[in-house]
Structure 1
């Protein structure tokens, strides 16, 4: 029997993300989530630290020569013993209930190891070539704190090309438009995954082994062929992007505005497109010409929609380069739309920007 490319990486990534998702779900029931603001004013919780340690522990044990890019570092934990203790407890007491599945995943054995694992994701990469895992332990921390939508994100980039993407969405409820407050309160949410050239799958998450028997392939997005069929996902709370220009883009396309779906998490916007959650496109026109997105906000999620026939480019129509380190350094802004209408959306963006 022939093993499909990246089968081992995909299996381990799905297990690691599911365990980290369980970890975050456990913290959701806590009144005090260990929340504070980072220097850039974005919120962070002990779930971010514990999930990063948990995922890196699994990946580094299985693929010790691979590089890792993670969002967090351990500075705050090293200066706050109480925060470290809570993070260590959360990271080391959360396990998959299936011993066979859990056996694939390493767990930090000491507080020092936990700190070192977190910092593996913070080190500068020695080369942008080769295998690099990118992770965002909690994409959408602000909405996570409110019990709304967020994603646990892991991606493998090899020689600058996305190969594997896995997103765990613990609060995702299927069956209607994706909404911050439409939360899966009875289950564990959904796990989305993609391997380049192999399509995108979705399956429910559980607390044990992977529920592969309930996995299904998502259909390609082929029915959107006209500008007026575009349905945007955006966020009205954005502070880094030009929502006024986004509105002009919608007017150019004669499609609904305000945006059909409003989600804070960048990765959840890809998820909403992939699952047909009331939207099929998004644009991002930054306020600052110097603005560049972080790779962990997009890698993996991009692959999910690209495997479904959605094109992802910058504002000039250039493919997004995921081989530039911690940021999408060569990418100014984003245009994400089904292949058949991408050129039309790109032109609408150009006109809306006055170019």
Structure 2
């Protein structure tokens, strides 16, 4: 089915509004799942998809080499591991987007300070060179280091914050990345315009088509393709959330299938039937809902006043991906005094969930403010924490949180 026959078959309302369409999967073939005239930032989204696809290939290559050798891992001051892949993805995205959109700066997680003091810069250069669109150009280590730093803390020159900028998490879930193919990690890229997230792309090379131990949330039929590995999810404001498969990740090559599938959040309306995700660093007992429900990881033995807690590792973006694809109903994150919540851990997930029909707020029901960090646009301050849901159970959870806070 080409894009023109798709557009004539479904109304514009069905195209741009997830809630106007029945929760049924359909596919089409196109470089993007909607035509340019429906998407103001179509060119930017296509560039974002292209570079995230390349970044996923870089991650797969580096992951293979990490388990074949040693010495490819650093420990940052915040005690989180950083690999050649983190630096390589940031350099790759910075270089590719910088060529196409030189006036749009990048806000990203890494800077080259640690890399400059280690022998890994050559490995990063090799990884980036293998994936970048160079033509007749060649890259040096200094080129790569400068590209990384364009996303660092000094991304906005002279203290001015532009109205439009990219937000990148090179690898969300690095600890999962270091565990190999069994854990999820995400390359996440979003574009912010005048404080609004207008598009997002998430690449998850280890996504499996069938999660036998993570059953589909109630009311949501399984639309995944069995035996396929890896997924890329895209969202554009007003155009919905879509995903397609990544497969054949062999020999440093990522073959991209052009079959896009529309994503919808699940239709669960009852809290005790909802499937929950929480931060890997937090326990269910530390969260306010634990006063009403206990939790279990076993989908076959969910008792009265129990909820199913999905054992998903690692990072926040894979939880957003689960909610946006209808595999989970809720992602619950509590803000802690000693932990800084970064914009790149949430930006792309927010638009993917919103465009799939879900809702994202802080614990008081307010939208997450990406502009609260007026200088660097790197930190967000959600009151209480972050609440990501299918929309149906959002109000119920906010009411419980309100009562809980008043008791405390």
Q: Which position in structure 2 is the counterpart of 1:98?
A: none
Aligned counterpart in structure 2 of residue 117 of structure 1, from 147, 151, 165: 147
Q: Which position in structure 2 is the counterpart of 1:340?
A: 392
Q: Distance in 1 between matches of 2:187 and 2:97?
A: 14
Which stretches in structure 2 are left out of the alignment for 5+ residues?
1-34, 215-224, 248-252, 296-303
Shift of 1:247: 4.9
Q: Which position in structure 2 is the counterpart of 1:227?
A: 271
Find the residue that maps to 1:152 and give its secondary structure. strand
Larger Rg: 2
Q: Distance in 1 between matches of 2:286 and 2:330?
A: 17
Residues 1:79 and 1:2: Cα distance change in structure 2 (over 3 Å): closer
Q: Distance in 1 between matches of 2:80 and 2:260?
A: 34
Q: TM-score, normalised by structure 2?
A: 0.75
Match runs of 1:307-322 below 5 Å? 307-322=355-370
Q: Distance in 1 between matches of 2:174 and 2:394?
A: 30
Q: Deviations 1:141-162 (Å, cap 9, x if unpaired)?
A: 0010001210011000111100
Aligned counterpart in structure 1 of residue 236 of structure 2, from 195, 205, 208: 195
1:72 matched to 2:114: no
Task: Tell me, yes or no, if the aligned pair for 1:306 and 1:312 is still in contact at 8 Å.
Answer: yes
* Equivalences, count: 337
Task: Tell me, yes or no, if the aligned pair for 2:88 and 2:128 is still in contact at 8 Å.
Answer: yes
Shift of 1:175: 2.3
Match runs of 1:42-57 below 5 Å? 42-57=80-95
Q: Which position in structure 2 is the counterpart of 1:286?
A: 335
Relative to structure 2, which stretch is displaced further, 137-146 or 253-262? 253-262
Shift of 1:306: 0.8
Find the residue that maps to 2:401 and give its secondary structure. helix
Find the residue that maps to 1:172 and give its secondary structure. strand
Residues 1:38 and 1:2: Cα distance change in structure 2 (over 3 Å): closer
Q: TM-score, normalised by structure 1?
A: 0.86
Which stretches in structure 1 are left out of the alignment for 5+ residues?
96-101
Residues 1:79 and 1:220: Cα distance change in structure 2 (over 3 Å): closer
Q: Distance in 1 between matches of 2:261 and 2:342?
A: 30
Q: Distance in 2 between matches of 1:329 and 1:77?
A: 29
Q: Deviations 1:258-301 (Å, cap 9, x if unpaired)?
A: 62343321000001112222x2102222232x644100100111
Q: Distance in 1 between matches of 2:363 and 2:394?
A: 11
Find the residue that maps to 2:389 and give its secondary structure. strand
Match runs of 1:36-185 below 5 Å? 36-80=74-118, 82-94=119-131, 102=133, 109-122=139-152, 123-125=154-156, 126-147=159-180, 148-176=183-211
Q: Which position in structure 2 is the counterpart of 1:302?
A: 350
The structure with the largest strand share of the pair is: 2
Residues 1:297 and 1:283: Cα distance change in structure 2 (over 3 Å): same
1:270 matched to 2:311: no
Q: Which position in structure 2 is the counterpart of 1:204?
A: 245
Shift of 1:133: 0.2
Q: Distance in 1 between matches of 2:150 and 2:97?
A: 11
Find the residue that maps to 2:124 and give its secondary structure. helix
**Superposed CA RMSD:** 2.8
Residues 1:33 and 1:131: Cα distance change in structure 2 (over 3 Å): farther
Shift of 1:127: 3.9
Q: Distance in 2 between matches of 1:302 and 1:319?
A: 10
Relative to structure 2, which stretch is displaced further, 195-204 or 259-268? 259-268
Residues 1:291 and 1:166: Cα distance change in structure 2 (over 3 Å): same
